[in-house]
Structure 1
Amino acid sequence: MCSFTITATISQLSWSTKVILLQLTIFLGIFHLIFEIRRFIHSPRLFMSSYWHWFNLVVILFPVFTSFSWLQTEELPLWETVISTLLLELKFLLYFRAIKYFGTYFAIMIRVAQRVFSFLVVWAIFIFAFAHSLHLLLRPTTVYSDQQSYIGGVNNSWNFASKRQYVPSNDVIENTTEDFDENLTMFSMLYSSFLAVYFMMTGDISLISPSVLAEDWILVLLLVLFSFTTTIYLMNLFIGLLSLAINEANNKQSFLHLRAVTLSEIELFWMLPSQRRKLNWFPDFM
């Protein structure tokens, strides 16, 4: 993490220094990859079913491939660097889960996330359904440039993009761009509609133009249904489920279980055979 983030953050470093740090990143990544391979050999079924192992694998491989790409092109791969830095720093944060002072909160977050995962899936389907409906309603449709006619009614964001204006001074008809509402263009693509609906879930309805709301009852109906089912009902239900899951979880027991899993991985995959055979570390009666 240090070698990669230093390279990505400090732009004043010379290229020779960056090469050393990137090579060190690749070497340490391969070193950590060996232990992931040992985990897979030890129990392939457990490795495939554990999301922690998949996360570790992504955290190791992504910065390694980013470093390879950086060394080959000698140019900063921006999006790959951003994702690699985020993954490495999150991985560093997870090392605190075996310390009691921090581990209790990690145990709470993991246990609660496991309890409410199915509810989050249902919630995501609700959001996708409304995002898809708003995308179909507000997306730009066919434009006939020769007749300057725009299909899609007042909901079409392209209707605001271009207008013909008559100029009396020289009797020339000019194309101008005015009254263009850029907020409506978020619904022109399905993925951006999903993002817009996510923002609307927090109460931000500025993504919809007031002029459109005043002229389309279908849009108003969708927004009212979305506000009640998702923002009011599901969000408050989710908060209640979180409170119940936190109260029902035995935080101390969850932390001890998390620490036991961490210690078992250290003993199995990070210790040498000679260390595991030390009787003063692992007596026979244990």
Structure 2
Amino acid sequence: MRLASGVKPFCIDKRNIIVVSSRSIVLFYAIDNDNNDKIDLRRLVWELPHSLSDIRNFSYQCTSNLSHKRILWFDITCGDSKHNYYTLIPLDVAISGHDLPDEWMKYSCQCQGLANFLNLLSIKPYTSCNTFNSAETICNLIRYKANRLDECIATQLNECTPTAILEEILWHNHYKPTIGPNGENPLIVAILEFKSVEIQQLLDYCIYHCINDSQPGFMSIVVDALPELAKHYPKILDKLIEQCTYIKVPSTWRLKSEKYDSTHEKLWSYKFDGSIFMVNSKKNFLNVLFEKLETTHRHSATTCFVPLPGLCTYPDPNEINNTYRWFNVVIPRHPSTFVKLVPFRSFNVFKSPPFEAIVKFKWKAFARQRFFLVLCLYLIHFGLFVTAIMNIHGQLMIASMILGSILIFTWIRRSIIHYMNGIRLFTVFATYIELAAFVLPVITGFLKHGDGAPPELQSLSVLSLWIFIVAQLRAFRDIGVFIAAVAHISRNILWFLLLLAFILFAFAHSFLVLLLEDNNESNTFKRFDRSLKNVWSMLLGEYSSIEPWSDSHLVNIYMIAFSFSTAIILLNVLIALLNNAYKETYKYAHTVWVINRAEIIVDIELSWMLPSERQNRDYFPWSIIYEAYTEDVDEWSKKLEADKSPTLYGMKVKMDKFKDELKIEMDKFKDEMKVEMDKSKDEIKNEIAKFKDELKQLLSAVINDVVNKS
């Protein structure tokens, strides 16, 4: 049969009709309604792949298999090229709701029209089987946008909404979360569609099977969606990370005993290669030395694992388009999920033990050694420039300029890498300090070989280098935590500094207006900048600038008001604020330091490593095993149990287990009752037989007595 423009129907039998258009096949079938005598209509859809042109010729054949079940076979010819294509559907099995090919299921979830509710009613019977395991199918179901008419009809038809269907699919435990061949991730689709209910359903399902069934593979779609969660749903991400905290290694993995004594520092971590074996990374001399220095007192430790497999791994470069593979060496464009997550600087994420353990592992495995090498390069540049400035040594200045130019080019490359991977760079103040530390010394060197560099520029160059070198020390814990604490406290007292600035400007302006026309030779209040400098000296307790006017009542009033408002009130308030804020800030500062170290690690991964090194499983393992203090794990477990609000999926699983246990107990009780009843029946029969015998004997005795008397 040859298709003309438009749509053509083909009747299979009284209950089944095929409708064929230029790019799709629709199967309409009728089923009996169990609740009444009416007949319900259902619809399944198949669409032609986008790579093929429109359907030109079409034919179908209805055959029976060995089980005498009908199968529909469709032969399709596409376009002028007469490309042959085929699809099939097990008609009787599909109508009964027991199985459906994936290509029919995914398009049935996707197709939308005037009768959307027919699709929902048609796919609902398949929730009890594993026909929804395709990532594209679940994505199409989540994307399904029902209109108000559909929702009203669905409410009347047993809650047949996309959300209810997804919930039923997850309840049957057949769904295996996977990422599609084209990168389709159902969880990311739910996030981008802003469907919070579906997001929570998928997260609860994945985390439940990961923790309770020891199946970390269920978290693959969760790991891939972490950056989108951080961007759109940070509170849901915080809750997820809490659920991933202190997850004990299952006993079936046979790594170590659950609890043991250790001398390693808190959250000491190892790589986990995805098998049942825990493997230590290769150790060089530097790692061995630091490992000895980082030991602590002996304590009880519990082995936990990070239930986020593949968080740190990079995609295989062989899977990247060959055209851009060389470009990936210079400018990496396919970072790991960890790299994508760091720029969000999510406080609660990096506050959690799993992510702090990941940062520690990366630092030990590769980042620490490379950081020291880069730091040595910066120190050489610093030493060359400072020595050349102080000793006016031409050759050292040339060497400093060459090294500085190389560092500028590396900075430009790193900036491009960060920008191409969506990492903020120019919003961070340290970026400008780093740029100044590279550019100013080079400019100073060029001017030195010309007319001479001004002392101000030389001074700024030296200062920027000193600040830059000190900023690099934030990678070390004690210095980094202190710097983070100072920065946090400074941000907290910003309002105080603003108020102090207003007071300084106010008194500087007042003294300027009052003493401007005074012709005293020692008058230093002729300009506003000098007046402001004098007021700043007064803040530090130096009042010599106003001594010539010691007899002026207004000057004395200004001095008293200024000293009372600043030295007595504001500075004492500042001291009190700093004393109260530091202890509270220390824990916050520790997390900020972890984030800062994570940013340094990301920079090393992208800028100072080759693509082949990013495929090294010693550096970027499948997952991480870490040692936690046993008391911390026990305390966290108690807190989690106290605060735990059971998820809908978890409650359903528990109810199913309770039903199964109840059914077993009921069957056992029925068997016991049956045995008891059988025993009771036998006893009753024996008693009745005994009673009959006794009654028979009694009647015989009575009859004999009557006969003898007569």
Classify the TM-score, shorter chain: 0.7 to 0.9
SS of 2:425's equivalent in the other structure is: helix
Tell me, yes or no, if the aligned pair for 2:485 and 2:582 is still in contact at 8 Å: yes
How far does the alpha carbon of each residue in 1:1-42 deviate from its partner, in whole angstroms, 9 at most, with x for none?
A: 22211111113x3x3443343343333333334323433443
SS of 1:188's equivalent in the other structure is: coil
Q: CA deviation at 1:194?
A: 1.8
Tell me, yes or no, if the aligned pair for 1:3 and 1:21 is still in contact at 8 Å: yes
CA gap of 1:136–1:38, structure 2 versus 1, over 3 A, is farther
Q: CA deviation at 1:56?
A: 2.3
2:604 and 2:498 map into 1 onto residues whose CA distance is 33
Equivalent residue number for residue 623 of structure 2:
285
Tell me, yes or no, if the aligned pair for 1:201 and 1:230 is still in contact at 8 Å: yes
CA gap of 1:122–1:262, structure 2 versus 1, over 3 A, is farther
Tell me, yes or no, if the aligned pair for 2:408 and 2:439 is still in contact at 8 Å: yes
Matches within 5 A, 1:129-140: 129-139=506-516
Q: Which has the larger helix fraction?
A: 1
Q: Please tell me the residue identity of whatever aligns with 2:459.
A: V
Tell me, yes or no, if the aligned pair for 1:98 and 1:258 is still in contact at 8 Å: yes
Counterpart selection for 2:549 from 195, 209, 212: 212
Matches within 5 A, 1:102-251: 102-139=479-516, 152=517, 156=518, 159-160=519-520, 180-181=521-522, 184-185=523-524, 187-209=525-547, 211-214=548-551, 216-249=552-585, 250=587, 251=589
SS of 1:207's equivalent in the other structure is: helix
Equivalent residue number for residue 406 of structure 2:
27
* Overall identity of the aligned pairs, in %: 26
CA gap of 1:260–1:52, structure 2 versus 1, over 3 A, is same
CA gap of 1:188–1:38, structure 2 versus 1, over 3 A, is farther
Q: Please tell me the residue identity of whatever aligns with 2:472.
A: Y
Tell me, yes or no, if the aligned pair for 1:112 and 1:242 is still in contact at 8 Å: yes
Higher relative CO (Cα under 8 Å, sequence separation at least 6) belongs to: 1
CA gap of 1:16–1:98, structure 2 versus 1, over 3 A, is closer
Equivalent residue number for residue 51 of structure 1:
429
1:268 and 1:114 map into 2 onto residues whose CA distance is 30
Q: Please tell me the residue identity of whatever aligns with 1:77.
A: P
TM-score in terms of structure 1 length = 0.75
CA gap of 1:6–1:202, structure 2 versus 1, over 3 A, is same
Matches within 5 A, 1:267-286: 267-285=605-623
TM-score in terms of structure 2 length = 0.32
Q: Please tell me the residue identity of whatever aligns with 1:64.
A: V
Equivalent residue number for residue 69 of structure 1:
447
Stretch of structure 1 that moved more, 124-133 or 81-90: 124-133
Tell me, yes or no, if the aligned pair for 2:436 and 2:461 is still in contact at 8 Å: no
Q: Please tell me the residue identity of whatever aligns with 1:98.
A: A
Tell me how large the CA RMSD over aligned residues is.
2.3
2:383 is the alignment partner of 1:2 = yes
Q: Please tell me the residue identity of whatever aligns with 1:7.
A: A
CA gap of 1:279–1:109, structure 2 versus 1, over 3 A, is same
Q: Please tell me the residue identity of whatever aligns with 1:213.
A: S
2:593 and 2:490 map into 1 onto residues whose CA distance is 15
2:444 and 2:413 map into 1 onto residues whose CA distance is 19
Tell me, yes or no, if the aligned pair for 2:401 and 2:441 is still in contact at 8 Å: no
CA gap of 1:263–1:277, structure 2 versus 1, over 3 A, is same
Q: CA deviation at 1:82?
A: 0.5
Aligned residues: 241
Q: Which runs of 5 or more structure 1 residues have no equivalent in the other structure?
A: 140-151, 161-179
How far does the alpha carbon of each residue in 1:149-195 deviate from its partner, in whole angstroms, 9 at most, with x for none?
A: xxx2xxx2xx23xxxxxxxxxxxxxxxxxxx32xx32x222122222
1:132 and 1:115 map into 2 onto residues whose CA distance is 28
Q: Which runs of 5 or more structure 2 residues have no equivalent in the other structure?
A: 1-381, 625-710
Q: Which has the larger strand fraction?
A: 2
Tell me, yes or no, if the aligned pair for 2:534 and 2:545 is still in contact at 8 Å: yes
Equivalent residue number for residue 597 of structure 2:
259
Tell me, yes or no, if the aligned pair for 1:130 and 1:226 is still in contact at 8 Å: yes
Tell me, yes or no, if the aligned pair for 1:25 and 1:64 is still in contact at 8 Å: yes
SS of 2:468's equivalent in the other structure is: helix
